[in-house]
Amino acid sequence: MEMARIPLVREDDPTAQPEAREFLERTVSLYGETFNSMRLLANHPQQANAFLDFALSVRRRNALTPVLTELAFMTASAVNQCHY
């Protein structure tokens, strides 16, 4: 049995929703490129933007220094045996 695949949204796809292209442009402005995970999320731009806002608040808008933020992420990954 073959698994269903979620399509990757491309900025240059004329059939892509305008909101999806705007989301992808936003990711480029934040990260300098668009990762495939963001291309997947762009299938639902409203939810993708909400997720990105949440991720940015956790990652960048917190009371910790950047070093402590990274340490917290690395510690949580190690404790949960996450190797990604």
* CA–CA gap between residue 48 and residue 24 (Å, rounded): 10
pLDDT tens digit sequence for 20-57 = 999 999 999 999 999 999 999 999 999 999 999 999 99
* CA–CA gap between residue 51 and residue 14 (Å, rounded): 25
The pTM for the full model equals 0.76
Check if the beta carbon of residue 68 is closer than 8 Å to that of residue 34.
Answer: no
Domain regions of the chain by residue span: 18-79
- Residue 8 DSSP symbol: P
